[in-house]
Copies of this chain bind each other. A is one copy, B any other.
Amino acid sequence: MTVRPPAEIGMTLDEVDTPALVIDLDAFERNLKRLVDRTAGKGVRLRPHAKTHKCAVIALKQMELGAVGVCCQKVSEAEALVYGGVKDVLVTNEIVGKTKLRRLMALSGSARIATCADDPAQLAALDAAAGEAGIVLPVHVEVNMGGNRCGVEPGEPALALARQVMDASHLSFAGLQAYHGSAQHLRTWEERQKAIAGAVAKATATRDLLARHGIACANITGAGTGTFEFEAGSGVYTELQCGSYIFMDADYGRNRDRDGAMTRAFEPSLFVWATVMSRPAEERAIVDAGLKALGMDSGPPNVWDEPAATYDRASDEHGRLVISGATNRLRLGDKVKLVPGHCDPTVNLYDWYVGVRGDRVEAIWPIVARGAVY
């Protein structure tokens, strides 16, 4: 159920109730701009992944800066974004089930909708549903780049599916979904470069095989925040799907740049604002943000701006900070910024972003696709 916003516009940050999901708007805007700058002139389109932010306001800001549209993972996410005015959505996922297909096709009346497929039976169901809706749906064939999640193998299996799309009455072949998810968090520049070189080889071979059979790949779409520079410079990828770059998170922050330093590509702009609710011992402070306020799958959050504190352990509603220094600012009632370990599942816990400029709440944005898992 939607909860009330934890803030009002005009409040100071200190007045914002906790836990709250806070965006540092200056840092966020710098991140938005930075992706545009770093990919300018490379001949690639930007289609940021909205699964990160689940917010139509942010999607429209990305499109104002030149993105051709956004990606999402679920039909209900696409619905929430289209309701919010987004006119071009690629569902980078396999949609299975009659109810979902009917809803996906209906959306095509209000926006350009495309999706992915990796199975002949799934393609047949897409074609039938598009036919019932009287539309032609653009479909990308998803190719396994090495993550071993969804996707057909490169080469002949992808060709067979592409042919099936070409032959279907109500589908159009849009190209290849070629996202290499497991490359994003490889820590060194060289590891990521090597992984994407492998993906580029697979995408190229598949593209060329299709071309030899008279099938043109209008779009080869993929890339994430950890690797986008490699895909952008590949000459093969035509569209980038980076999502986390707008916020960064503690886990992406552990990636290294080419010079071995912690990545400076983007900066943390998303925080969970939390209160010290118990201070039972010198070496222990308890904050009011635990498993229901933070995605913990990629490790605990970093404590911002308080080097003496380490987020040690989360329970449902509590976070235990270990305090290593005798001097620290953490008294009962004090508030701290936590940089989430993983931004996407953290965002999915909240209904509202609190956008802060300096110390002042400037924006409250609804997370319209929060909980949109269907």
Nearest-Cβ distance from residue A120 to partner chain B, whole angstroms: 9
Give Cα A281–Cα B118 distance, bound, in whole angstroms.
11
Residue in chain B with minimal CB distance to A54: B1
One complex includes copies of this chain to the number of 2
**Could you mark each residue 155-180 of chain A with 1 if its beta carbon is under 8 Å from any beta carbon of chain B, else 0?**
00000000000000000000000000
Contact in complex: A17, B100 (CB < 8 Å): yes
Shortest Cβ distance from residue A226 to the other chain B in the assembled complex, whole angstroms: 14
* Cβ-defined contact, A315 with B149, below 8 A: yes
Question: Interface with B: A231-239, A254-262, A365-373, which one?
Answer: A365-373
CB nearest to A147 among chain B residues: B315
Q: Do B318 and A150 touch across chains, with their CB atoms under 8 A apart?
A: yes
Q: Which residues of B contact A2 (CB under 8 A)?
A: 1-2, 371
A98–chain B nearest beta-carbon distance, Å: 9
Contact check, B316 vs A119: say whether CB atoms are below 8 A apart: no
Task: Please pick, from B95, B150, B316, the residue contacting A73 in the complex, using a CB distance under 8 A.
Answer: B316
Judge whether A1 and B280 touch: CB under 8 Å.
no
A286 to B368, CA, bound (A): 26
Stretch of A28-36, A128-136, A212-220, A345-353 on the interface side: A345-353
What is the interface of chain A mostly: helix, strand, loop, or mixed?
loop
The 8 Å CB contact of A344, one of B96, B316, B374, is B316
CB atoms of A371 and B345 under 8 A apart: no
Which A residues from 197 to 224 make CB contacts under 8 A with B? none
Within 8 A of B (CB), among A332-374: 332-333, 342, 344-345, 348-351, 366-374
A314 within 8 Å of B (CB atoms): yes
The smallest C-beta distance from A276 to any residue of chain B, in angstroms, reads 7
CA distance A300 to B367 in the complex (A): 27
Q: Flag A261-304 by CB within 8 Å of B: 1 or 0 each.
A: 00000000000000111111100101011011101110000000
- Could you jot down 15 A-B contacts, CB within 8 Å? A1-B351, A2-B371, A118-B280, A119-B278, A119-B279, A119-B280, A144-B280, A150-B280, A150-B286, A291-B345, A292-B344, A293-B373, A297-B314, A316-B345, A349-B371
Sorted from nearest, which 6 A-B pairs have the closest CB atoms? A150-B278, A73-B317, A96-B277, A291-B345, A292-B348, A94-B277
